Amino acid sequence: MEEKKFISQTFSVECRGRDIIGSEVLIEPEEVDVRISQSPDCNTISSSVRCQYNTGGHGERCKASHPGVDKVDEGVRCPYSFDVPQVFDIKSDDYIFNV
């Protein structure tokens, strides 16, 4: 049986941030590093985003549209921060995932 390995890859992307309705807000794009990884212990694929506008317990929210406060309403989702399959487990009809 083959030993499972930790898999990780980092990508550089340009992001213009998001507001509460998903519109881009930054005039100049921010270069961010997105690390996508999978642990051999589970079937979850996760991302970790290195960005000055990330906030939240897992860096899952974008505050580019409101840099002076942690979040607005329930928070603006970072389009590059995710956990699969959890990101697809929609809990309510009013949940919107903006990418």
State both tokens at 93.
Answer: 């009809």
Q: How far apart are CA 33 and CA 58, in angstroms?
A: 15
Q: Is the model's pLDDT at 6 over the cut of 60?
A: yes
Q: Is the model's pLDDT at 90 over the cut of 60?
A: no
Predicted pLDDT at 98: 45
Q: Is the model's pLDDT at 86 over the cut of 70?
A: no
Looking at the chain, the whole-number percentage of residues with pLDDT higher than 70 is: 82
43-81 residue pLDDT tens: 788 888 999 999 887 778 999 999 988 888 888 999 898
Q: How far apart are CA 15 and CA 8, in angstroms?
A: 21
Please say whether the beta carbons of 13 and 32 come within 8 A: yes
